[in-house]
Amino acid sequence: MSTMSYAQAACLALQEVMRADANVVALGEDLGRGGVFGQYRGLPQEFGPERIIDTPISEANIMGAAVGMALAGLRPVVEMRVIDFALCAMDEIINQAAKNRYMFGGQGRVPLVARMPIGIWSASAAQHSQSLEAWFAHMPGLVVVTPATPQDNYGLLKSSLASGDPVIYMEHKELWGVEGEVTAGVEVPLGKANVLCEGSDLTIVTWSRGVGVALEALSTKAFKGIRPEIIDLRTLWPWDRDAVFKSVAKTGRLLVVHEAVQVAGFGAEVAASAAEATGCKVRRLGSPRIPVGYAQVLENEARLSPAKIVAAAEALLKQ
């Protein structure tokens, strides 16, 4: 077990897989200098430009090339820098990568991992601060992963690289420097949630940066006397319905928390499914349907905070 950052944990996972499998390559912008967040640091020097491929600024070209590589037998890791830029490659992701296995009766597989950092990036405004996980969870053929901790960023990336299907891998832009204990060699299975703490009053389901904010809320005085069960989904598709349903059957209340816009967010899927299955009371907490502002006071309107989670939990307990 070692202490390392969220970025270092992912870098270690990729390094180990690339050493074990010569078919794994990485391509994208800024990889030659170790990635924008240092998530490829040291890999260009070890594996060279034929396996750590520094590309021009053309997301459609990057993703299209990766789909072709995958169909030809390679296992590409595609770096989109931030999810906002992946919008330039939606045709290649949705109409090619996601649908190939189905449309050709399993004759073709697209085993790529597309790294698309999500979430608010301080003082980066509307075009660099989006959380678009619901877009990709909506699309058949895609696996959607949202690691919240260094250990999960290590273990989930290894599992994603072994998946055999196209994986939309969403690391949060403001978690790169977060440090934690990482045990090498431990893979985290896709589709398996993590129950962070057990409780009986309500269930809080979240993912990505929402996990840390929910745990911070739990430690505040405002939560004194309230015993929530907090679940980190870790994977949005497939998501761990059994773990969520088991928890809400016990607590009778579900609060889904995410940084993405609340309107049509993935939290709506979790809330509706849980209510249909168990009859629990539900409440959602997400961002208002506004672009993320550059000014701090406007950015804060879109951010999750412990105070917002406490307020939403208290409102749910009064229902």
The active-site residue out of 128, 138, 172, 258 is 128
Q: Would residue 314 be called left, alpha or beta, if left means φ above 0 and alpha means ψ between -120 and 50 degrees? A: alpha
Which pair of structure tokens corresponds to residue 127?
């075009």
**Helix, strand, coil in percent for the chain, rounding step 5:** 40, 20, 40
Neighbours of 262 (CB within 10 A): 17
Neighbours of 127 (CB within 10 A): 12
Burial 202-227 (b: 16+ CB within 10 A, else e): bbbbbbbbbbbbbbebbeeebbeebe
Judge whether 258 counts as a catalytic residue. no
The DSSP secondary-structure symbol of 172 reads B
Closest CA to 176 of 134, 210, 147, 133: 147
Closest CA to 64 of 100, 23, 101, 105: 100
Instruction: Please state the three-class secondary structure of 65-119 as a single string.
Output: HHHHHHHCCCEEEEECCCHHHHHHHHHHHHHHHCCHHHHCCCCCCCCCEEECCEC
Q: Report CA 61 to chain centroid distance, whole Å.
A: 23
Q: Identify the H or E element spanning 295.
A: none
C-alpha radius of gyration, the chain, whole number: 19
136 in Cβ contact with 90 (< 8 Å): no
What residues are labeled active site?
A: 128
